[in-house]
């Protein structure tokens, strides 16, 4: 789609503010969640960011998941991963880690720091009902594997999915098996910069984590997630240096039943999952 073909700009339909929370062993985070289908196929976005080690040093000791995918993306510092399948790895600034938990996975994530402390994100994506009991898989992606394109005072780095600039230039991130045909990208804008993207996927979300971004005259500040209206393109403009995550996907439009680290489609399935965890068969 070229610039001349754009006809329907996407505007801010709803703003969701992140709220302080804690998870794991007392890790301080800012969280956005919607288990009611409002950001389908996405479920939750956690931002871990602090230069105070006490805020995160406890990390996330061994814990289970079923029925979701997780994507962890590091801005500063790092995270060390271990799971029941024998995977051990470390991701650092600019790297990402993707987990398809499927039927079940038990893992831990422990924080690492650099001179700026720790700043990272973890995104939960819901699995379609047909995939919730599929085999668990795992993948790391390094920063040098992620393509990017420049814009007018802006840059878009693709972690996953296909992204198209207004002049038709397109890139595709290495994570190509994201639930809900999702795309995830990191937008960086200089003061006065503009980034215009073609995007027709039903769900389009912008999470600003530095500065502020203007979308069709509506300002979205750091710590806010904007859910956008339908349309064929979005224009991000910044009046100061700003950064955001851009999330796009196709809703599953299926029932969501959530309990802690498990996301299924019914209460009965959650009860079966909890029983499997108690009797040690979750990952079998």
Model pLDDT for residues 192-243, shown as the tens digit of each residue: 999 999 999 999 999 999 999 999 999 999 999 999 999 999 999 999 999 9
pLDDT at 71: 97
- Mean per-residue pLDDT for 265-278? 98
Which own/partner contact pairs does 50-53 have at CB distance under 8 Å and 24+ positions apart? 50/117, 50/118, 50/119, 51/116, 51/117, 52/117, 53/113, 53/117
Residues in the chain, overall count? 284
pLDDT at 55: 67
Whether residue 2 is predicted with pLDDT greater than 60 in this model: the reply is no
Phi-psi category of 35—alpha, beta or left, where left has phi over 0 and alpha has psi -120 to 50? alpha
Proportion of the chain above pLDDT 70, given as a percent: 96
Residue 26, in any domain of the structure: yes
Residue 283, in any domain of the structure: no
pLDDT at 1: 47
Q: How many domains is the chain partitioned into structurally? A: 1
* CA separation for the pair 111, 80 (Å, rounded): 6
pLDDT at 51: 67
pLDDT confidence band for 259 (50 / 70 / 90): very high
Query: pTM of the entire structure?
Result: 0.94
- Could you tell me the CATH number of the domain that includes residue 147? 2.60.120.10
Residue 117, in any domain of the structure: yes
* Cβ 234 vs Cβ 227: under 8 Å: no
For residue range 80-127, what is the model confidence (pLDDT) as tens digits? 999 999 889 999 999 999 999 999 999 999 888 777 888 999 999 999
pLDDT confidence band for 182 (50 / 70 / 90): very high
**Residue 130: which domain range?**
3-278
For residue range 25-57, what is the model confidence (pLDDT) as tens digits? 678 899 999 999 999 999 999 999 866 766 666
* Cβ 6 vs Cβ 181: under 8 Å: no
pLDDT confidence band for 171 (50 / 70 / 90): very high
For residue range 120-163, what is the model confidence (pLDDT) as tens digits? 999 999 999 999 999 999 999 999 999 999 989 999 999 999 99
Residue 85, in any domain of the structure: yes
Residue 284, in any domain of the structure: no
Proportion of the chain above pLDDT 90, given as a percent: 83
Residue 164, in any domain of the structure: yes
Residue 21, in any domain of the structure: yes
Query: Can you spell out the DSSP letters for the chain?
Result: --GGG---B--EEEEEE-EEEEETTTEEEEEEE-TTSTTTTEEEEEEEEES-GGGTTT-EEEEEEBSEEEEEEEEESEEEEEETTS-EEEEETT-EEEEE-TT-EEEEEEEE-BTTBEEEEEEEEEPPGGGTTSPPEEEEE-GGGS-EEEEEEEEEEEEESEEEETTS-EEE-SB---GGG-EEEEEEEEEEEEEEEE---SEEEEEEEESEEEETTEEEETTEEEEEPSSSEEEEE-SS-EEEEEEEE-------EEETTEEESSHHHHHHHHHHHHTT-TT-
């Amino acid at each position: 789609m070229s610039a001349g073909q754009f006809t329907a700009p996407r505007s801010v339909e709803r703003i969701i503010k992140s709220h302080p929370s804690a998870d794991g062993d007392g890790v301080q985070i800012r969280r956005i969640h919607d288990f009611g289908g409002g950001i389908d196929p996405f479920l939750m976005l956690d931002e871990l960011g602090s230069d105070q080690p006490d805020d995160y040093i406890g990390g996330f000791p061994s814990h289970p998941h079923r029925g979701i995918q997780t994507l962890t993306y590091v801005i500063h510092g790092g995270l060390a991963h271990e799971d029941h399948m024998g995977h051990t790895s470390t991701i650092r600034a600019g790297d990402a880690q993707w987990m398809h938990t499927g039927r079940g996975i038990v893992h831990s994530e422990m924080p690492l720091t650099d001179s700026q402390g720790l700043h990272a994100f973890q995104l939960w994506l819901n699995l379609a009902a047909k995939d919730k009991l599929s085999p668990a898989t795992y993948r790391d992606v390094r920063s040098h594997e992620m393509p990017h394109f420049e814009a007018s005072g802006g840059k878009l780095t693709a972690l996953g999915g296909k992204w198209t600039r207004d002049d038709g230039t397109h890139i595709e991130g290495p994570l190509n098996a994201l639930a809900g045909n999702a795309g995830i990208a990191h937008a960086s804008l200089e003061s006065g910069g503009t980034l215009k993207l073609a995007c027709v996927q039903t769900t389009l979300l912008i999470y600003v984590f530095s500065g502020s971004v203007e979308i069709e005259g509506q300002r979205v500040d750091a710590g806010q997630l904007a859910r956008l209206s339908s349309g064929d393109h979005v224009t991000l403009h910044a009046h100061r240096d700003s950064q955001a995550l851009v999330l796009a996907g196709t809703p599953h439009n299926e029932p969501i039943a959530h309990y802690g680290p498990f996301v299924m489609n019914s209460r009965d399935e959650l009860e079966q999952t909890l029983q499997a965890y108690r009797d040690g068969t979750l990952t079998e």
